[in-house]
Amino acid sequence: MLGSMWKCLIAAGILVGPALAQSPQIELANLREDVRGLTQRVGEMALRLEQVERENAELRRQATAGERSRATLVQVREAVADLDRELRAVVAAAKTETLQHVATQIEKLAQQTNTALDSLTRAPASRPAGATTFSDDFPRDGVSYTVLRGDTLAVIARKTGAKQQDIVNANKLADPSRITVGQTLFIPGGK
């Protein structure tokens, strides 16, 4: 750099006389300074080149990793599709198994219901005919009552203030325990 400055001063005619007498020595010093500057600049360029090469290697590594992750993404998609197929198969099998279990339970309940109904239809036949007699000794005035869920003859009698036996006689209930929801009964003397 200093050498460049000296050259500029000499070319401009500013330095003359003793400076010209020393010009080969100055010229040599300038050249040495220029070589030192160039050496320093080459060193800086070498460092910069090494840095660029490291960055380039890192970019290559990232690109390779990116390609691997793309392949991994494809594999993940395939795995998800496989799991989806397996899940659908398991759900279908569970659904089929549940339906079979429900059908079996319904069959059992139907058999139990049929057995119970058969026993109920046979029960009145086993009673002697005329065993149930009803008295006409109950009040003739009263109210109508529709049987609600949870009602029994005792509950109805309590609600209406009537006697249970009067309700049985007025409605000719052969089995007072078999009143049904929605059934309308006459309640003698009821309120």
Give DSSP secondary structure letters for 44-83.
Answer: HHHHHHHHHHHHHHHHHHHHHHHHHHHHHHHHHHHHHHHH
Nearest Cα to Cα of residue 3 among 36, 41, 40? 36
Q: SS3 of 145, please?
A: strand
* Cα 189 from Cα 191, distance rounded (Å): 7
pLDDT value of residue 133? 84
Q: How many residues does the chain have?
A: 191
What pLDDT, on the 0 to 100 scale, is given for residue 22?
66
Q: Which regions in the chain score pLDDT beneath 50?
A: 9, 14-21
pLDDT of residue 120: 81
CB 143 within 8 A of CB 191: yes
Q: Is the dihedral of CA 92, 95, 101, 102 positive or negative?
A: negative
pLDDT of residue 160: 93
Question: Contacts by 166-174 with C-beta closer than 8 Å and gap 24+?
Answer: 166/138, 166/139, 168/134, 169/134, 169/135, 169/136, 169/137, 169/138, 170/138, 170/142, 172/134, 174/124, 174/132
Measured in whole angstroms, the distance separating CA 16 from the mean position of its chain's CA atoms is 93
DSSP assignment string, 116-127: HHHHHHHHHHHS
Tell me what percent of the residues of the chain surpass a pLDDT of 70: 82
Q: What is the pTM of this model?
A: 0.34
